[in-house]
Amino acid sequence: MTSTTLFNQNAVDVLIVGAGLSGISAAAHLQRTHPDYSFHIIESRANVGGTWDLFKYPGIRSDSDMHTLGFDFKPWIANKSIADGPSIKSYIEETITEQALWPKISTEHRVTAAHWHSDRNRWLVTIEHQDQQHQVECKFLQLCCGYYRYDSAYKPDYPGESDFQGPIIHPQFWDPEFDYTDASVVVIGSGATAVTLVPSLAEKARHVTMLQRSPTYVVSRPSSDKFANALRAILPNSWAYFITRMKNIGLQQFVYQRCRRYPENAKRMIINMLRPLVPAGFDVDKHFTPSYTPWEQRLCLVPDADLFDAIHNNKASIVTDTIKCFDSTGIQLDSGDRLDADI
């Protein structure tokens, strides 16, 4: 949804930049703990929701459970705790309505400069809206806009890209109307976005290949939290949510500490957990065993083993190699192998 509120105030106590999860959380907490503070939220895009409004690629979802990613003051009550993007956006919009924050949000307002003035102990922030600029002073400037640029994305330049006859698409700019039915798709990379895309694309595509330079740790877990769902059946939502949230935070901290303290044991356990999920003879060492230890980089979450199901069904495959160049109908690899691709 869009907030049409025009922000033309000259001063507020707190200026919040970004109307995604972080910005709405900041506003709700500020409103509750400091009701005497004036504040406003500005959002550069046309809609609220941040990441969960921007990304439209197939399968877009969280890679954290919503009992820890969600607001501490608003229970997540959906059956699935690993939630899809539209559900998370709806959760954000519900919160804005419940907290009466819509009048405090101005979309299509972009910060172009911010300067601290020690003589007045104030920030002077320049905001642009419809090619018009105005300045506002604030005591506190809270940046809740994340660290990715929405209007640009990292994309390496590969030799021969211009020779490729099919579309080359960055998922950040995915068109929801794009039809990939019965296409041969190559997904370059093996991070959270890749392991989300591959099984989702495989539902309609002829085949999907995940081309990775090096493996990532991948862990499967249920998309639904049976513990949370059982608690909600016997306790108020707020109690069930709090208990589940504390349980998940504690478990995550325990797992992280064990991984960092006993890295080789953790590595062996993660790899052994996924062996039964892949077909017999699958080269786990090559495709799912990183050179680093767990939590030196973030682990990738796969809900309900969907990535492994796609591999089992021969709808998806993994290739660990490096790109030599693109040609008109695919990608040539440094090993001498080649991948056909429509997309």
pLDDT tens over the chain, length 343 residues: 656 667 778 999 999 999 999 999 999 999 999 999 999 999 999 999 999 999 999 999 999 999 999 999 999 999 999 999 999 999 999 999 999 999 999 999 999 999 999 999 999 999 999 989 999 999 999 999 877 777 788 888 999 999 999 999 999 999 999 999 999 999 999 999 999 999 999 999 999 999 999 999 999 999 999 999 999 999 999 999 999 999 999 999 999 999 999 999 999 999 999 999 999 999 999 999 999 999 999 899 999 999 999 999 999 999 999 999 999 999 999 999 999 999 9
The strand ranges marked E within the chain are 11-17, 39-43, 105-107, 110-117, 122-129, 132-143, 184-188, 207-212, 218-221, 300-303, 316-320, 323-327, 330-333, 338-340
Q: Two tokens at 60?
A: 């877009």
What is d(CA 149, CA 154) in angstroms, rounded to the nearest whole number? Answer: 9
In angstroms, rounded to a whole number, what is the distance separating the alpha carbons of residues 270 and 127?
48
* pTM over the 0.85 mark: yes
Tell me whether domains 11-143 and 161-220+251-340 share a fold.
yes
The region that residue 147 occupies, defined by phi over 0 for left and psi between -120 and 50 for alpha, beta otherwise, is alpha
CATH number of 161-220+251-340: 3.50.50
Q: Which of 3.50.50.60, 3.40.50.2300, 3.40.190.10, 3.40.50.1100 would CATH assign to domain 11-143?
A: 3.50.50.60
32-51: string of b/e by CB count within 10 Å (b at 16+)? eeeeeeebbbbbbbebbbbb
Domain locations along the chain: 11-143, 161-220+251-340
